[in-house]
Amino acid sequence: VDFLLGYIKLLLPRRPDLKVVIMSATIDAERFAQLFGGAPVVSVGGRMYPVQVLYQPPAANQELPQAIHGALMTLSQHDKQRPGLAGDVLVFCTGEYEIFEALEHLRVVLPSVDVLPLYARLSGPEQDRIFRPQGGRRRVILATNVAETSLTVPGVRYVIDTGLARVSRYNSSSRLQRLPIERVSQASADQRKGRCGRNGPGVCIRLYTHDDFHSRSPFTDPEIKRTNLAAVILQMLTLGLGKVSAFPFLDMPNGTAVEDGQRQLQQLGAVDSGGAVTRLGRRLARLPVDPQLGAMLIAASRERCLTEVLAIVSFLGVQDPRERPAGNWTAADAAHRQFQDSRSDFLGMWNLWDWYQAQSRALGSSQLKKALQANFLSPTRMREWRDLHRQLEEACRGLRLRPNARPAESAAIHRALIAGLPLGVAVRQEAPRGRYVNGGGFTFRIHPTSRLQGLGPQWVLAADFVETSRVYARTVARVEPE
């Protein structure tokens, strides 16, 4: 979006017939207006009921589940004072782990209340429980910030805001996509508050102080300051838009992040030492995925494994369709185990695709949906995977990349993947146990969800890094250094 806005600004003088409307509930409208030469700002007042804000920071040493319970007790007292305001409660948490930690506690201490999770990977049937409420019991919905703007939960009259969220940030030094827990901005906090003022007067309890709220940043950092810039830089170079420093970004990216993006493109062979786009770079720019994933596809054609790598790359380009519903983790893990490969999580993706294709040919749409749900696979995300696969397949045909007729060897598949992961190969350290280091000196561990966790391979190809309390690689393959 940040790049698109700058490109539109350059385009408008040549296209006076083009009309641009930018809509958002949380942006700094005046800054956007200034970017476009003092464009008019129209404020559309939605129908919002008054929301009372209470500040109730946790007591010393009080854990989050107990703090949420305390806020619910405050709301119970509020019910007695204003009985006509009864309704459901939306609680903003930071992630799935924190949601389930609070869920277990609240189901014990509040057995008369329906406590439900809400997050992006939630299965369809569980989402139905959120959006099709049944019965007269109060619901307490524990949600990530997916409920802040993306979804509207019916029946909510109360909000409990922890004031925190996991924010995706790219670290250009380590080339690691981190998920640190951070304080939300004032705009996000107000957006959360507004979720309980849509159908009537509401109450928002913030689990932090009034002073804390006013010390926060007014707006959330734009994505251009939190993401890998390699794809943006490649598009700019391909379109002949000049240097990043001269481009009319609303928020100029960090210089270190720009240098890292340029360095990545050089390592992939997309630009030469002088910064000019190479033939490979022009081909990568025509693929609707990040340059790293595109490099895998081009290498796969050369290694005669494009059929398999197309499925793997398209999987990496969408949200993981495998579901692990609360209370059914064991059953979900058992269902997913049939697709795993002890040598490689990447090959497990191919196994899943191969199964999906066979099921799609053999079953009608309703039967296919049941088969996916029985194996704890999201029908929606499987369709997204299929749609991206088709899009990439068409793009590869346009580049004359040919799929292989015969099944590819695993070594060829991994060689193609390495083309997009030049720093992905790592060796196991003797101490501390379970830690790996790559050629750039970057260290990590294998994530517990990987099939290779606990197997201790000497050399691995690793991708999909995430940092929580430690740095983990969620997708790993056993490889040989030669």
- The string of pLDDT tens digits covering residues 182-212 is 999 999 999 999 989 888 889 999 999 999 9
Most confident residue range from 37-51, 146-160, 221-235? 221-235
Q: Cβ atoms within 10 A of the Cβ of 89, count?
A: 25
List the single range of 143-147, 192-196, 358-362, 448-452 with lowest mean pLDDT.
Answer: 143-147
Report pLDDT for 84.
62
Same domain, 130 and 181: yes
Instruction: Kindly write down the DSSP assignment for every residue of 312-343, as one continuous string.
Output: HHHHHTS---B---TT-HHHHHHHHHTT--TT
Q: Tell me: do 431 and 469 sit in the same domain.
A: yes
477 — pLDDT class (breaks 50, 70, 90):
very high
pLDDT given at position 383: 96
Cis link prior to 422 (omega < 30° from 0)? Answer: no
299 located within any domain: no
Cα separation values, 311 from 83, 293, 302, 326, 462, Å: 55, 11, 16, 28, 18
Q: Which domain holds residue 211?
A: 51-221
| Nearest-angstrom CA–CA distance, 332 and 207 | 34
Contact 444, 469 (CB under 8 A): no
Q: Which of 250, 257, 349, 304 is nearest to 34 (CA)?
A: 250
Q: Is residue 291 part of a domain?
A: no
**How deeply is 59 buried, as exposed, middle or buried, from its count of CB atoms within 10 A (0-12, 13-18, 19+)?**
exposed
93, pLDDT greater than 80:
yes
**122 and 72 within one domain:** yes
Residue 412 shares a structural domain with residue 435: no
Q: Which stretch of 113-122, 149-158, 381-390 has the lowest confidence by average pLDDT?
A: 149-158
Asked whether residue 267 is domain-assigned, the answer is no
Position 339 scores a pLDDT of 97
With a cut of 90, say whether residue 346 has pLDDT above it. yes
Same domain, 383 and 359: yes
Strands 471-478 and 459-467 turn out to be: antiparallel
Instruction: Assess whether pLDDT exceeds 70 at residue 393.
Output: yes
Do 66 and 166 reside in the same domain of the chain?
Answer: yes
Residue 152: CA atoms inside 13 Å, Cβ hemisphere, count?
Answer: 8
Closest C-alpha to 167, from 205, 223, 209: 223
Do residues 72 and 8 share a domain?
no
Average pLDDT of span 302-318: 96
- For residue 52, give the H/E element and its range: strand 51-55
Same domain, 346 and 437: no
Q: Which residue has the higher pLDDT, 279 or 130?
A: 279
Q: How many domains does the chain have?
A: 4
Instruction: Round to whole Å and give the CA distance between 21 and 294.
Output: 32
Instruction: Say how far apart CA 246 and CA 81 lie, in whole Å.
Output: 59
46 — pLDDT class (breaks 50, 70, 90): low
If phi > 0 it is left, if psi is from -120 to 50 it is alpha, else beta; for residue 269 that is left
Q: Is the dihedral of CA 216, 49, 135, 375 positive or negative?
A: negative
* Cα dihedral: 294, 295, 296, 301 (round 10): 100
Burial of 441 from C-beta contacts in 10 A (0-12 / 13-18 / 19+): exposed
What share of the chain has pLDDT > 70, as a percent?
98
